[in-house]
Amino acid sequence: MPRELSYAQSFQTDCLEQLGVVSWFASSEPVVGVTFRPAQPWARADGLVADAPPVVVSEPDVSAFAPPEPVVPPKPVDPAEKDASVANLRQQLNAAPEVIVEDLQPIEEPSVHIDPMPEVVDAGLPTRVSMAGYWVAERLLLITDLPLSFDDEAALDKLALSLSKALLKQDIEAWQKANFIWPGKLKNRYLLNRQDWVLGAFEQFLTNYLKADAPLWVIIAGEQGAQFVEALPAGHPLKAYPTAHVHSLPQMLRIPELRKEAWQTMQSTFFNK
């Protein structure tokens, strides 16, 4: 005897039948009917029951079986009509030659004066530079070379202030520090070998210290700083101050014996003249 199942039971029966589990039905009671597959076959927590979705039967698309449209061959041009078009074009050219000729002339643009590239300035300076400048007690300017990967800033500051305190013979209460870093060669193909750009940047770096009070002494620690100071113009204010050239401060941190040599150099430069 056929019986009607609920949506959930029908869906469960169909799934179990596909798995081959049909043992609870007697062989004389076959299950015949339409199995609905609702979007939510099981009971929901909110107590609502989902209705069975309507069965939509789509009509077959027969547009793909339509015969292709016939290809229309291009219409041949009558030779007499073609000759007439050419003759008409010649007639137009002869009728108003000044207009046609003016339109066909190449566009002439006024020439722009381009200044020639100045000569390359090569001062023999390093391409990659890293330096630190200390302006101590408004009396001492100390410039030291730095390795590109230097990271012990605390030890560097302590050494710079210790040398300044011993040289000035006073406690250091005011001091400033700034770094000068030039990443390397310029990427512009017109400026690849120009060294005056880095020299101008170094001059601006010094101007930030020399724009106020003039220093009493100048200490250049390292070879890079000495090269840059040497490349400055002859009338630069920095060259008028007493200057001591010593090893860089990072070298003094690695080799403490260099501090004694630097102290002797500063004493002979600033006091024995």
Q: What percent of the chain has pLDDT over 70?
A: 60
Instruction: At 104, list the tokens.
Output: 């066909």
- Beta-bridged to residue 103, according to DSSP, are none
Instruction: Tell me if 206 sits within 8 A of 238, measured CB to CB.
Output: yes
Give the pLDDT score at 183: 82
Give the pLDDT score at 11: 75
Give the pLDDT score at 121: 47
Instruction: Tell me if 23 sits within 8 A of 68, measured CB to CB.
Output: no
Give the pLDDT score at 70: 79
Mean pLDDT of 32-58: 59
Rounded Cα distance between 210 and 52, Å, is 88
Q: Say which residue, 68 or 258, is predicted with more confidence.
A: 258
Instruction: At 196, list the tokens.
Output: 């005056």
| Res. 56 pLDDT band, cuts 50 70 90 | low
Phi, psi angle pair for 221, to nearest 5°: -110, 105
Rounded Cα distance between 119 and 198, Å, is 16
- Model's pTM, two decimal places? 0.53
Strand boundaries in the chain, DSSP class E: 129-136, 140-145, 175-182, 217-221, 243-246
For the chain, the structural domain boundaries read 1-52, 129-270
Give the pLDDT score at 223: 93
pLDDT of 26 above 90 = no
The single residue listed with the structure tokens 């299950």 is: 31
Instruction: At 31, list the tokens.
Output: 């299950």
Mean pLDDT of 26-32: 56
pLDDT single digits (tens) 103-153: 555 566 666 666 655 444 455 788 788 999 999 988 899 999 998 888 889
| Res. 83 pLDDT band, cuts 50 70 90 | confident
pLDDT of 14 above 70 = yes
pLDDT single digits (tens) 160-195: 999 999 998 889 888 999 999 888 777 766 666 666
Give the pLDDT score at 95: 65
pLDDT single digits (tens) 232-265: 888 888 888 889 999 999 999 999 999 999 999 9
Collapse the DSSP code of 256 into the 3-class scheme (helix H, G, I; strand E, B; otherwise coil) and give the result. coil
Give the pLDDT score at 62: 55
> Averaging pLDDT over each range in 45-59, 72-86, 153-167, which range is the top one?
153-167
Collapse the DSSP code of 244 into the 3-class scheme (helix H, G, I; strand E, B; otherwise coil) and give the result. strand
Longest dimension (CA), the chain: 128
Give the pLDDT score at 119: 46
Mean pLDDT of the chain: 76
